[in-house]
Amino acid sequence: MPNYWLSEFEEKKAPDMEPVEDPEDEVSDDSEDNAGNNLTNRQQSLYKLYEMTVEEFGMFNKSSGPDGAHYAPANKNPFKEEGLVCSNCEFYLKSGGCELVSGKIEPNAICKLWIISGDRIKK
């Protein structure tokens, strides 16, 4: 059975998106939106895809539903000690918002859409 979703995606793909040849933690600092943030090529690609998705369909909500970001508030974030928090994410706004998720965002919360550069993650 053909994958129609994938064929539709290929048609809508942004012209500046190129396939990543080696996704293994290769870091590029030439991203237009994230210069100097040490994002891997995979992260840069995801960043662009998330932005395109929000442009087309609107922001994600905080729920765990089909349009949700699976947002976990700070008091339920099991990954805080590792640096996996909204305030380290590329989409976090200093005003307490997010470029992708609607509503007030806690700095130490987390969701499934995070893009955090490796230098901000504690191993």
Amino acid at 21: E
Token pair, residue 86, equals 């909204």
pTM of the full structure: 0.71
Per-residue pLDDT of 50-80, as tens digits, reads 999 999 999 999 999 999 999 999 999 999 9
C-alpha 12/C-alpha 57 separation (Å) is 13
Average pLDDT of span 41-48: 97
What is the dihedral angle through the alpha carbons of 91, 117, 8, 4, rounded to the nearest 10 degrees?
-120
Domain residue spans of the chain: 22-120
For 27, half-sphere exposure in the C-beta direction (CA atoms, 13 angstrom radius) is 11
